[in-house]
Amino acid sequence: MTTTPTTSPVRPRGTTVLPSYDDDAPPARPRPSLGRPSADERFVRWGAWASALGLAWLVTQRLLPLPGPAWFLITWFVLGLVVTAVLSALTVSMVEVRDRVAAAVVTGGALVVGAALVSTLSFIVLRGWRPLLHGNFFVDDMAGVGPKDPFDMGGIAHAAVGSMIEIGIALVIVLPLGIGTAIFMTEVGGRFAGLVRTIVEAMTALPSVVAGLFVYTTVIVVAGWPRSGLAAALALAVMMLPIVARAADVVLRVVPGNLREAGLSLGASRWRTVWHVVLPTARPGLATAVILGVARGVGETSPVLLTSGAAAFMVVGPTDGVMNSLPLYIYTTVRSGEPQAITRAFAAATVLLALVLLLFVLARVVARPKRARRTRTTRPRAMKETTS
């Protein structure tokens, strides 16, 4: 079989042209693929970091005066990038070199953030686990307990109870108002709803300390109430209301419009459509919005700092004067400067973290679309509706 010379400008129609092969050409280099890296590539990738590890040891421990693990890690990362670039440049094109370096930088950045998160959580727990071993830490208050007293005296029950009371009152205010506003903005609409949405979105920018100062001025200075759990709850409510309303608004807006139209076309009134179609559809999202709002409110210190005052003893009545809460307890205890007290503060921070984590996991579980649960909860209601 002969190959047709490809240079010939005119070919009769219907002839098949076979490609010509140049025997002197260098062997074809395989294109870098986006799939799984080959063994060769893997070796270059991991070998670069291994050699950078050795180089980093050499540079920081033997050549330059850069003590400490931080410098070692930084040097390792920088050298790793350099070695990756050099090794890749030996085998692949510049485009691929840039790709590999970029991948390393992006992964490195994500690792730094992950390390920061892990260091935050583990640091708090490592410094604060000791008082948690004593049962009285969870059931006692700090009445009559000095900052230097041992851990088998005193506890944070008053702060935890105070936090619960304050966030509970705030929730009683925020839940109907926030979700009601969201329903008004999405389901009723109109020009006035647009105004409300603008204002609510603007007020999400309100710094929490300013919310606290607002309640401090109006409730405590002008109205003359004492500092109390109720004032703190009001401050938290002022802070949380725009956040929850806006998050609920976002959730309600993504409810598909054809569900509403289906409800209305079947003759349901607007109110019934909202109650039986829109709200059940959006329930997981609404729960998430509320729980995340609570998680934000329970950890917020500055509104409480301005309005509640820190009591060292158990206060249950929201209007019975000064009341403590977990973040405020942490802040005031750390400020005392006594090592023993600081350890207590870290223990309280561990409890607060666990609380926030619990709320967060709860929000995730609620938000997860679970088909079995949804049919179980909505079907009886729908059947009751049709039979009644």
Partner 1 sequence: MTSLPLVDPSAPEAQPRRISRRATGADAVFVNVSRAVGASVLVITGGVGLFLGWQAFPTLQRYGWRFFTESDWLPEADVLGIAAVLLGTLQIAVVAMVIAFPLALLTALYISEYAPASLRSTLVSLVDLMAAIPSIVYGLWGFFLVMPHAAAFATFLQRHLGWIPVLDVKDTDPDAAIWDASRYTASAFCAGIAVSMMVLPMACAVMRQVFSQTPPGEKEAALALGATRWGMIRTVVLPFGRGGIIGGTMLALGRALGETIAVLLIISPAFDLKVRPLEIGTNSVSALIAGRFGDASASQLSALLAAGFVLFVITLAVNTLAAMVVNRSRSGAGAEA
Question: Does 77 participate in binding partner 1 (rule CB under 8 A)?
Answer: no
- Please pick, from the candidates 82, 157, 331, 340, the single residue that binds partner 1 as defined by CB under 8 A: 331
Question: Does 266 participate in binding partner 1 (rule CB under 8 A)?
Answer: no
Residues 11, 138: Cα–Cα separation, whole Å: 93
Residue 172 CB, shortest distance to partner 1, in Å, is 14
Residues 251, 254: Cα–Cα separation, whole Å: 6
For the chain, give the secondary structure using H, E and C.
Answer: CCCCCCCCCCCCCCCCCCCCCCCCCCCCCCCCCCCCCCHHHHHHHHHHHHHHHHHHHHHHHHHCCCCCHHHHHHHHHHHHHHHHHHHHHHHCCHHHHHHHHHHHHHHHHHHHHHHHHHHHHHHHHHHHHHHHCCCHHHHCCCCCCCCCCCCCCCCCHHHHHHHHHHHHHHHHHHHHHHHHHHHHHHHHCCHHHHHHHHHHHHHCCCCHHHHHHHHHHHHHHHCCCCCCHHHHHHHHHHHHHHHHHHHHHHHHHCCCHHHHHHHHHCCCCHHHHHHHHHHHHHHHHHHHHHHHHHHHHHCCCHHHHHHCCCCCCCCCCCCCCCCCCHHHHHHHHHHHCCHHHHHHHHHHHHHHHHHHHHHHHHHHHHHCCCHHHHHHHHHHHHHHHHHC
Question: Does 125 participate in binding partner 1 (rule CB under 8 A)?
Answer: no
How many Cβ atoms from other residues are within 10 Å of residue 352's Cβ? 22
> One symbol per residue from 357 to 376: x for binding partner 1 (CB under 8 A), - otherwise; what is it?
x-xx---x------------
| The two structure tokens encoding residue 310 | 């820190």
> One symbol per residue from 14 to 33: x for binding partner 1 (CB under 8 A), - otherwise; what is it?
-----------------xx-
Question: Does 42 participate in binding partner 1 (rule CB under 8 A)?
Answer: no
Question: Does 123 participate in binding partner 1 (rule CB under 8 A)?
Answer: yes
Closest to partner 1 by CB, 136 vs 343, is: 343
Closest to partner 1 by CB, 228 vs 301, is: 301
Sign of CA dihedral 270, 272, 291, 112: negative
Question: Does 81 participate in binding partner 1 (rule CB under 8 A)?
Answer: no
**Contact range with partner 1 by CB under 8 A, out of 2-10, 316-324, 349-357, 377-385:** 349-357
**Contact range with partner 1 by CB under 8 A, out of 10-18, 40-48, 149-157, 214-222:** 214-222
**Contact range with partner 1 by CB under 8 A, out of 43-51, 148-156, 245-253, 374-382:** 245-253
- Please pick, from the candidates 334, 336, 338, 362, the single residue that binds partner 1 as defined by CB under 8 A: 334
> One symbol per residue from 146 to 175: x for binding partner 1 (CB under 8 A), - otherwise; what is it?
------------------------------
**Contact range with partner 1 by CB under 8 A, out of 48-56, 107-115, 369-377, 378-386:** 107-115
Phi, then psi, of 36 in degrees rounded to 5: -65, 135
Question: Does 290 participate in binding partner 1 (rule CB under 8 A)?
Answer: no
**Contact range with partner 1 by CB under 8 A, out of 43-51, 148-156, 185-193, 376-384:** 185-193
**Contact range with partner 1 by CB under 8 A, out of 14-22, 54-62, 144-152, 297-305:** 297-305
Residue 382 CB, shortest distance to partner 1, in Å, is 18
Question: Does 287 participate in binding partner 1 (rule CB under 8 A)?
Answer: no
**Contact range with partner 1 by CB under 8 A, out of 36-44, 50-58, 136-144, 244-252:** 244-252
Closest to partner 1 by CB, 158 vs 246, is: 246
Question: Does 346 participate in binding partner 1 (rule CB under 8 A)?
Answer: yes
- Residue identified by tokens 């070199």 is 97
Question: Does 64 participate in binding partner 1 (rule CB under 8 A)?
Answer: no
Question: Does 73 participate in binding partner 1 (rule CB under 8 A)?
Answer: no
